[in-house]
Structure 1
Amino acid sequence: MNEHGTEAPDGTSTEAVRLDQGHIEGTGGIPERFTNPGLPAHIHRSADVDEKAARKAEKQVATLFTLSIIGTLVFIVAYFAIDHRTQVFMPGIGLANLQNVVLGVSLAVSLFMIGAGAVHWAKTLMPDEEVVEERHTLRSQDEDRTAAVDTILGGGDQAQLGRRPLIKYTLGGALGLFAVPLVLQVAGGLGPLPGDALSTTFWRKGMKLMRDPEGTPIKATDVTIGSVFHVMPEGIDKSEHVLEEKGKAAVLLMRLDPDDIKVAKERDWGHDGIVAYSKICTHVGCPVGLYEQQTHHLLCPCHQSTFDVTQDCKVIFGPAGRPLPQLKITVDNEGYLVADSPFREAVGPSFWERGS
């Protein structure tokens, strides 16, 4: 194809042949190399050449770190001083928890000011001159390695920490205080310890076992071997704190062949093979709702803690630390299943105040 679109005899375009020949003739067959342009000339900042500008930048960075300190202090004060039940109207949101709003805003200000101060510090005072480091495929000489270590150790001097003590102290204060909210969240962010809140439930002696959510009583004859009932105590819907009480009082009711029950206490606290256990997993409180009829295992779907119903709901797998508490039951004169006593131990997860 010629320069107007025809081919040469060997199938290549005449344009390509001419360009290739010119390339070879001009360079002797070696591609022309570009000269390394190098790094652009370094442009000095005002803080590099004017100590007055440098001190001004130092004060600006210190101010940002100080604002971070103030934000952290506001977080700490609000954590203890603001009632967690106080509500406030937020435009575009509606009612919100005042403590959560103040904690969120103050923590955001604290973190943002640390970042803004670090960026401003880097932009105005830290060295910004570009350098080229030649990389070697082999191990560097000992002198070079020692020089690299010295360079790293001298980073604090290059960042002017020694010359700028105001930045050093405010940065230390900002970062040091910023750890306090994290400690508070770990130590008390989950709220107060349960005390006896999990040791007492709505269950009382003589209360009927009611189907959940139907709210109908259960006769012993209704419970067949292999069946499972989700149960709540009679009258719980009339309690002042319904959801809280339901969360603690949830029970699973099952019937086993009495000969399959291996623990005397479990057999005595049940009725003719019918047993009732707390539905709240003793790991972190998830609802235990999966019953394997053939193995008589209860499974928590959250973290796979597995309880053996034939062994008083002993933990046989998973992270749960103790068996599910058993509710002692009996039957009344009409044959309905009723609680023979409240739970004898705290339901739900283990906690520091819980006795052995």
Structure 2
Amino acid sequence: MSETGSHNDVSENLPSEHGARGGDVAVKSDPFANPGLPPHEHRRQDIDEKAARHSERVVAGLFMLSMLGTLGFIASFVVFPIDKIIYVFPIGHVSALNFSLGLTLGVALFAIGAGAVHWARTLMSDEEVADERHRVDADDELKENVRQQWITGAKESGFGRRKLIRNTMFGALTLVPLSGVVILRDLGPLPEKKLDHTLWTRGKVLVNTNTDKPLRPEDVIVGSLTFARPEGLEEAQEDFQEQIAKAALMIVRLKPEDIKDKRERDWAHEGIVAFSKICTHVGCPISLYEQQTHHVLCPCHQSTFDLSDGARVLFGPAGHPLPQLRISVNGDGNLIALGDFEEPVGPAFWERS
């Protein structure tokens, strides 16, 4: 009996298996409970105005560095010639202009980003706030709540009272776009009136580009296509490519009765017409001629012009007809120009007259 009682006493003092599990369930009744936000820890700048002013000066300094980077970017276009090469370790030999543009623009953009990040991390409010998910079609109460949050956020950012940050930020954001304007200068000088005039003047002889001899009417037969350049323009000249790109001519002889346009007929000589060789789409040289239809085709984008009807556009992306050059014959029997083209040659441009 005593042995059995001892056993019962021990059993009563030990928790049952069911009771132990029941206790665990009570302790862990909701394993997915919201733990809540951790206690907010104030930053040094939140409790020390001296530290806050220091952060303000750092942010303003980064914005000022950005302004200096942009000014350096603009100055690089003036200081460095395009052909200047420098040695930069460990890159090697690079263009001084490209290196300085990349370095200064990188500094300008990086400093703006670094300033904004430092401003947000040290001076703007970092207190976490929990909010319920809401419908996309917000009601008036929610809209007003968002508006108040915006106002509070703007106030806590210090944008209004930290004038040093605000003014330097405006300066940096104003100067950076100027670098994009300066880049446009790299497209080259403005054409001004250079595209309005060529080397053709009254009395200038037409020279065959293949034979380098003056063109005579008997040299141009019906159905042929001949290319010409102004007398005095030689390939050895430094600006030959620039000048021939505007003055190149194609000469075609048509039967006078096949010419439909009156002005074209008046500007021709015995059916010989002279048109610019430069396509009015993107400036490709035209060289394909169809004798039966009197059409010329640009090989680049298939713009088609009718040389019997004022070189008007029949097909393709070209925007206007090929300019015609008025020609005649001088005392030596050579074909000559009676002036320059009356409209700019080549593609259209925004200040086209």
TM-score, normalised to structure 2, is 0.69
Q: Does residue 296 of structure 1 match 2:292? A: no
Matched with 1:90 is 86
Q: Deviations over 1:5-39 (max 9, x none)?
A: xxxxxxxxxxxxxxxxxxxxxx9xxxx98615556
Matched with 1:197 is 194
Identical counterparts, % of pairs = 42
* Mapped contact 1:69–1:178 kept (Cα < 8 A): yes
In the alignment, the residues of structure 2 paired with residue 114 and residue 301 of structure 1 have an alpha-carbon distance, to the nearest angstrom, of: 45
Task: Assess, with a 3 A threshold, how the Cα gap between structure 1 residues 78 and 43 changes in structure 2: closer, same or farther.
Answer: same
Matched with 1:71 is 69
Task: After TM superposition, give the deviation of residue 165 of structure 1 in Å.
Answer: 1.6
Task: Assess, with a 3 A threshold, how the Cα gap between structure 1 residues 62 and 95 changes in structure 2: closer, same or farther.
Answer: closer
Task: Assess, with a 3 A threshold, how the Cα gap between structure 1 residues 328 and 65 changes in structure 2: closer, same or farther.
Answer: same
Task: Assess, with a 3 A threshold, how the Cα gap between structure 1 residues 141 and 202 changes in structure 2: closer, same or farther.
Answer: closer
Matched with 1:62 is 60
Task: After TM superposition, give the deviation of residue 56 of structure 1 in Å.
Answer: 2.0
Q: Does residue 287 of structure 1 match 2:305? A: no
Task: After TM superposition, give the deviation of residue 239 of structure 1 in Å.
Answer: 1.7
Task: After TM superposition, give the deviation of residue 65 of structure 1 in Å.
Answer: 0.6
In the alignment, the residues of structure 2 paired with residue 279 and residue 54 of structure 1 have an alpha-carbon distance, to the nearest angstrom, of: 70
* Mapped contact 1:288–1:298 kept (Cα < 8 A): no
1:252-263 mapped onto 2 (5 Å cutoff): 252-263=250-261
Matched with 1:22 is none
In the alignment, the residues of structure 2 paired with residue 130 and residue 158 of structure 1 have an alpha-carbon distance, to the nearest angstrom, of: 13
Q: Deviations over 1:137-181 (max 9, x none)?
A: 474332111111232344422322123221101001111122333
Structure 1 stretch displaced more, 168-177 or 305-314 = 305-314
* Mapped contact 2:199–2:340 kept (Cα < 8 A): no
Q: Does residue 309 of structure 1 match 2:310? A: no
In the alignment, the residues of structure 1 paired with residue 190 and residue 43 of structure 2 have an alpha-carbon distance, to the nearest angstrom, of: 56
- Pairwise CA RMSD: 4.2
Matched with 1:4 is none
1:161-180 mapped onto 2 (5 Å cutoff): 161-180=159-178
Task: Assess, with a 3 A threshold, how the Cα gap between structure 1 residues 352 and 143 changes in structure 2: closer, same or farther.
Answer: closer
Task: After TM superposition, give the deviation of residue 117 of structure 1 in Å.
Answer: 1.6
In the alignment, the residues of structure 1 paired with residue 311 and residue 47 of structure 2 have an alpha-carbon distance, to the nearest angstrom, of: 76
* Mapped contact 1:209–1:233 kept (Cα < 8 A): no
Give 3-state SS (helix, strand or coil) of 1:238's partner: coil
Structure 1 unmatched runs, 5+: 1-26
Q: Deviations over 1:62-111 (max 9, x none)?
A: 111101112223344455x44x756422226757474x654454333322
In the alignment, the residues of structure 1 paired with residue 220 and residue 172 of structure 2 have an alpha-carbon distance, to the nearest angstrom, of: 66
* Mapped contact 1:282–1:350 kept (Cα < 8 A): yes
Matched with 1:206 is 205
Give 3-state SS (helix, strand or coil) of 2:209's partner: strand
Q: Deviations over 1:305-352 (max 9, x none)?
A: 7654333234577876654322334578998x8442453344335568
Matched with 1:344 is 341
* Mapped contact 1:57–1:124 kept (Cα < 8 A): yes
* Mapped contact 1:236–1:246 kept (Cα < 8 A): no
Question: What is the aligned residue count?
Answer: 315
AA at the equivalent of 1:147: N
* Mapped contact 1:236–1:245 kept (Cα < 8 A): no
In the alignment, the residues of structure 1 paired with residue 277 and residue 270 of structure 2 have an alpha-carbon distance, to the nearest angstrom, of: 21
Matched with 2:114 is 116
Matched with 1:8 is none
Structure 1 stretch displaced more, 128-137 or 57-66 = 128-137
In the alignment, the residues of structure 2 paired with residue 295 and residue 40 of structure 1 have an alpha-carbon distance, to the nearest angstrom, of: 84
1:132-281 mapped onto 2 (5 Å cutoff): 132-137=130-135, 139-185=137-183, 188=185, 190-203=187-200, 205-211=204-210, 225=223, 228=225, 231-233=228-230, 235-281=233-279
Task: After TM superposition, give the deviation of residue 131 of structure 1 in Å.
Answer: 4.1
Matched with 1:51 is 49
Give 3-state SS (helix, strand or coil) of 2:168's partner: helix
AA at the equivalent of 2:308: T
In the alignment, the residues of structure 1 paired with residue 284 and residue 131 of structure 2 have an alpha-carbon distance, to the nearest angstrom, of: 60
In the alignment, the residues of structure 2 paired with residue 130 and residue 297 of structure 1 have an alpha-carbon distance, to the nearest angstrom, of: 73
AA at the equivalent of 1:71: G
Give 3-state SS (helix, strand or coil) of 1:286's partner: coil
In the alignment, the residues of structure 2 paired with residue 203 and residue 292 of structure 1 have an alpha-carbon distance, to the nearest angstrom, of: 24
In the alignment, the residues of structure 1 paired with residue 59 and residue 271 of structure 2 have an alpha-carbon distance, to the nearest angstrom, of: 73
